[in-house]
C-alpha cells in the first residue's frame, strides 16, 4: 500500500475511533481533526511520513505554532489532540513508542474566568424586551443557562423529553454522550412554562419537534445565536465585562461555592470528569475573599484623615 493511502486509512480509522469508541460530539471531533490536520500539513511540507515522526519533528512543529502567533492556550489544545492521536497509534500497534511522551506543552498560565454578580444576571434578564417575538424564549434561555450551569451546546440540544419539571430536574447529555441529572430552579421552570405558550404557536420543522429552544427557522437554536443574544443584551445594559454563554456556567458554579455547596456536588452538576477542573472555582472564591479582606479589614483600610 502506498504511503499516502496508508495515511488516509489511519486517519479514517482514527476518526471512527473518536466517534464511536470515545463518543466525542461532532463539534469536539471536528476540533480534534482540525488540529491534527495542522500536523499533517506540516509533515507533508517537510516530506515526513506520519509513522516516522520523532520528538524533534514535533518540537519543530510546536515552534512553528509559536512563530505563527498562536497563543499558548491554543498551542496546548493542539498538542493535546496530537498526543491523543499518537496514543491511538501505539494502542493499535502502528507504533511501538509514543514520540509525544517527552513533548512539553507551553506554559499557559492560570486564567480566572469572568463571573457575573447576581445583580448583573438579573439586569441582563430584565433588560429583555418581552414584546418581541423571541423575548420570552431569550429569558428562558438565560435563566436555564444560569439555573443549571449548562454548556451552550447542552442548552442548544436540550429536548422536551429531557425535562422533568414536576420533579425539578432536567436530563443533560454532555461531553462523550455522558448523561447527568441537574436540578432546575423554580424561576427557570416558570420562564420555560411562559415560553412554551409562545412555542406552541411556532412553525417547527420536521425532526425538530422535541427540541426546547426553537429559532425563527423552526430548528433548534444555534450556539452562535446564543452568543449573539448575550452580546446584544450585554451592550444594551452597558456591562463592562466581556461575557459569553460560558460566563453563566462559571457564575452558576461560583455562586454555589460561595453559598456553601460541596465541591463534589458542583462537579456532578457541571458534568466535570475530573475534580481538578471544578477546583478552579475555589481559586475564584479565594480571589474574591482576598478582595473583601483588603477592602474591609482594619489593617488594610486607608486612613481618611
- Enzyme catalytic residues: 151, 175, 246, 249, 272, 281
Let me know if 57 is exposed, middle or buried by CB neighbors in 10 A (0-12, 13-18, 19+).
middle
Spatial strand order in the sheet of 163-164: 163-164, 169-173, 179-183
d(CA 58, CA 66): 13
Q: Find cell 486607608 and name the residue.
A: 302
For 181, the enclosing helix (H) or strand (E) is: strand 179-183
Backbone phi, psi, residue 182, to 5°: -125, 130
CB 288 within 8 A of CB 251: no
Backbone phi, psi, residue 287, to 5°: -60, -45
Task: Please enumerate in sequence order all residues whose Cβ is within 8 A of that of 42, keeping only pairs 6 or more positions apart, or say none.
Answer: 61, 64
Q: Are strands 179-183 and 163-164 parallel, antiparallel or unpaired?
A: unpaired
CB 132 within 8 A of CB 268: no
SS3 172: strand
d(CA 121, CA 205): 32
- Smallest Cα–Cα separation from 285: which of 305, 264, 260, 268? 260
Amino acid at each position: 500500500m502506498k504511503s499516502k493511502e496508508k495515511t488516509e486509512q489511519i486517519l479514517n480509522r482514527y476518526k471512527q475511533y473518536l466517534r464511536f469508541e470515545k463518543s466525542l460530539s461532532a463539534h469536539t471531533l471536528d476540533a480534534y481533526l482540525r488540529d491534527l490536520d495542522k500536523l499533517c500539513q506540516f509533515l507533508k511540507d517537510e516530506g515526513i511520513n506520519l509513522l516516522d515522526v520523532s520528538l524533534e519533528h514535533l518540537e519543530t512543529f510546536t515552534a512553528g505554532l509559536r512563530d505563527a502567533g498562536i497563543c499558548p492556550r491554543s498551542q496546548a489544545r493542539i498538542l493535546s489532540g496530537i498526543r491523543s492521536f499518537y496514543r491511538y497509534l501505539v494502542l493499535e500497534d502502528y507504533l511501538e513508542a509514543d514520540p509525544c511522551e517527552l513533548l512539553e506543552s507551553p506554559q499557559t498560565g492560570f486564567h480566572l474566568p469572568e463571573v457575573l454578580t447576581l445583580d448583573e444576571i438579573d439586569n441582563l434578564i430584565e433588560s429583555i424586551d418581552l414584546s418581541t417575538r423571541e423575548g420570552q424564549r431569550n429569558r428562558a434561555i438565560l435563566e436555564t443557562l444560569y439555573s443549571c450551569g449548562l454548556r451552550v451546546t447542552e442548552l442548544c440540544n436540550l429536548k422536551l423529553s429531557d425535562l422533568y419539571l414536576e420533579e425539578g430536574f432536567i436530563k443533560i447529555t454532555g461531553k462523550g454522550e455522558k448523561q447527568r441529572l441537574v436540578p432546575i430552579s423554580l424561576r427557570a421552570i416558570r420562564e420555560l412554562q411562559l415560553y412554551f405558550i409562545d412555542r406552541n404557536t411556532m412553525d417547527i420543522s420536521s425532526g425538530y419537534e422535541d427540541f426546547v429552544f426553537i429559532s425563527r427557522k423552526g430548528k433548534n437554536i444555534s450556539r452562535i445565536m446564543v452568543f449573539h443574544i448575550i452580546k446584544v443584551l450585554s451592550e444594551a445594559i452597558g456591562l463592562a465585562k466581556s461575557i459569553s454563554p460560558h460566563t453563566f456556567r462559571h457564575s452558576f458554579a461560583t455562586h454555589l461555592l460561595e453559598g456553601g455547596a460541596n465541591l463534589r456536588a458542583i462537579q456532578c452538576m457541571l458534568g466535570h470528569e475530573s475534580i481538578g477542573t471544578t477546583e478552579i472555582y475555589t481559586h475564584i472564591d479565594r480571589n474574591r475573599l482576598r478582595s473583601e479582606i483588603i477592602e474591609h479589614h482594619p489593617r488594610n483600610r486607608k486612613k481618611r484623615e
